[in-house]
Structure 1
Amino acid sequence: MSAAPNTLVTEQTNVLEKDPSKFEYKTTLGNCSFNDFILSYPSGACAYTGMRTVNRDAIVELKTHMARMTNSLSLIQFEGKTASQTQSANEALAALRDPVGFEARVLPLLRKGLTAYYDQVDATTHTEHPSEAKVSLMATYSFETQQPYFAAHFTALPSIPPHKRVKVEIERKERKAPEVKDSQWVRDRQTLEKNKPADVNEVLLMDHQDRLYEGMASNFLVVKDGAVVCASLDHILLGSILKIVIKVCKEHDIPLKWEFPTLQDGKQGKWEGCFLTSTSRLLLPIETILVDNESIEFKEASPLVEFLRKQVANEIYTAAYKVLP
Structure 2
Amino acid sequence: MTSAGFLYSKGIVFSPADTPPISTFLESNPGAYTTTRTHNNSASLLFWDRHLQRLSNSVKILLTSNPQFLFKSLNSTINPLLTPPPPSDPVWESTIKSLVNESVNKVLPVALRETRNEGEELAVTALVTGNTEKLGEVKRNVFEALDVHVHVGSHVPHVFGVKGYGARVAVVGPGRNIAEAKYSDWVRLRKSLEKLRPPLVTELLLSNDGDRILEGCVTNFFVVCRKDNRNEKYLGGNENTLPYEVQTAPIGDGVLPGVIRQLVIEVCLSKGILFREVAPSWSEHEFWQEAFITSKPFVFYTFSLLLASIAFDQNSSNVINT
Fold-level similarity (TM above 0.5): yes
CA drift of 1:212 comes to 0.2
Determine if the alignment matches structure 1 residue 39 to structure 2 residue 27: yes
Identity within the alignment, % = 23
Alpha-carbon contact 2:3-2:21 (below 8 Å) kept: no
Determine if the alignment matches structure 1 residue 263 to structure 2 residue 267: no
CA drift of 1:228 comes to 0.7
Q: Which 5+ residue runs of structure 2 have no aligned equivalent?
A: 69-73, 136-144, 227-243, 312-322
What is aligned with 2:44?
58
What is aligned with 1:227?
245
What is aligned with 2:125?
136
Alpha-carbon contact 1:38-1:183 (below 8 Å) kept: yes
Matches within 5 A, 1:169-180: 169-180=170-181
Q: TM-score, normalised by structure 2?
A: 0.74
What is aligned with 1:72?
58
Alpha-carbon contact 1:169-1:204 (below 8 Å) kept: yes
Alpha-carbon contact 1:96-1:102 (below 8 Å) kept: no
Q: TM-score, normalised by structure 1?
A: 0.74
Q: Which 5+ residue runs of structure 1 have no aligned equivalent?
A: 14-23, 295-325
- Within the candidate set 291, 296, 312, 2:308 is matched to 291
Tell me which moved more, 25-34 or 284-293. 25-34
CA drift of 1:192 comes to 2.1
**After superposition, what is the alpha-carbon deviation per residue over 1:79-119, rounded to whole angstroms, capped at 9, x for unaligned?**
75475x6246569xxx9981111222222322222211122
What is aligned with 1:299?
none
Determine if the alignment matches structure 1 residue 281 to structure 2 residue 298: yes
Alpha-carbon contact 1:203-1:215 (below 8 Å) kept: yes
- Within the candidate set 101, 105, 114, 2:99 is matched to 105
What SS class does the counterpart of residue 26 from structure 1 fall into? strand
Determine if the alignment matches structure 1 residue 161 to structure 2 residue 149: no
What is aligned with 1:241?
260
What SS class does the counterpart of residue 182 from structure 1 fall into? coil
When the two chains are superposed, the root-mean-square deviation of aligned CA atoms in Å is 2.7
CA drift of 1:39 comes to 2.3
In structure 1, distance between residues paired with 2:269 and 2:124? 29
Paired residues, number: 266
**After superposition, what is the alpha-carbon deviation per residue over 1:164-196, rounded to whole angstroms, capped at 9, x for unaligned?**
312111113111111111122222112223543
What is aligned with 1:317?
none
Determine if the alignment matches structure 1 residue 118 to structure 2 residue 106: no
What SS class does the counterpart of residue 175 from structure 1 fall into? coil
CA drift of 1:26 comes to 3.3
Alpha-carbon contact 1:218-1:277 (below 8 Å) kept: yes
CA drift of 1:135 comes to 1.1
Alpha-carbon contact 1:158-1:280 (below 8 Å) kept: no
Residues 249 and 132 of structure 1: is their aligned pair in 2 closer, same or farther, counting only changes over 3 Å? same
Residues 192 and 33 of structure 1: is their aligned pair in 2 closer, same or farther, counting only changes over 3 Å? farther
Amino acid corresponding to residue 171 of structure 1 in structure 2: V
What SS class does the counterpart of residue 53 from structure 1 fall into? strand
What is aligned with 1:207?
208
Alpha-carbon contact 1:167-1:199 (below 8 Å) kept: yes
In structure 2, distance between residues paired with 1:137 and 1:161? 25
CA drift of 1:162 comes to 2.2
In structure 2, distance between residues paired with 1:86 and 1:107? 27
Alpha-carbon contact 2:170-2:309 (below 8 Å) kept: no
What SS class does the counterpart of residue 211 from structure 2 fall into? coil
Matches within 5 A, 1:182-221: 182-197=183-198, 199-208=200-209, 210-221=211-222
In structure 1, distance between residues paired with 2:251 and 2:79? 31
